[in-house]
Amino acid sequence: MELAVTETKHYKLQNHPKHISMPPSLLIRPSTFTDLPAITAVYAWNVMNGTGTFELEAPDLTQMTRRREDVLRKGLPWLVAECEDQVLGYAYANHFRPRKAYRFCLEDSIYLSKDAQGRGVGKMLLTELMSQCEARGARQMLAVIGDSSNTGSIGVHRTLGFEQTGFIKSAGWKFGRWLDVVMMQRGLGLSDSTAPVDLV
């Protein structure tokens, strides 16, 4: 299921290493079906090498296709960061919980390829994701960050105005160690100052 494409935006990459051939411009755009192999590969690298996700086995292309379709079916954004026709990462929003009263509260997910780490790609993706979620009527954005040592993700969210609102100690076991969960939150638009309006 493909929904209407929303606006594509260009950004500048930060200080890329000399061994990575990247121009200084980055495209943030809605994902398409043809991005799914790259999206699957990006997530697989994060599953096998990172603690930001608590999955232990990387999902295949069919599973990732279903996940993306579920997000789009709800009218929510799934974005990719692209540079020279290469997908460097992706971000999407989903409802924090399935019960209807949570419909104005979204959770963000952001995953980057190995070579995109530390280049500002995550910040650009999150900035655009928040903008698109606000336009859809969302009032709260949550980040459920795996591993309290995940300083990159925590730092990006803090830079964009998120505050820590919760902490779950030793919730996951991966790579032979216990992992905490850090909860961060930021209001979108009018936040909780007025009653919301259903747009999605």
Q: What is the pLDDT of residues 36-57, one digit of tens each?
A: 999 999 999 999 999 999 999 9
**For the domain bounded by 9-13+22-187, which CATH number is listed?**
3.40.630.30
- Could you state, in order of their start, the residue ranges of all structural domains in the chain? 9-13+22-187
Percent of the chain whose predicted confidence (pLDDT) is above 90: 85
Question: Residue 86 and residue 64: Cα distance in Å, rounded?
Answer: 18
Please calculate the CA angle 151-61-144 and round it to the nearest 5 degrees: 25
pLDDT along the chain (200 residues), means of 10: 49 46 76 98 98 98 98 97 96 97 97 94 98 97 97 97 98 98 98 87
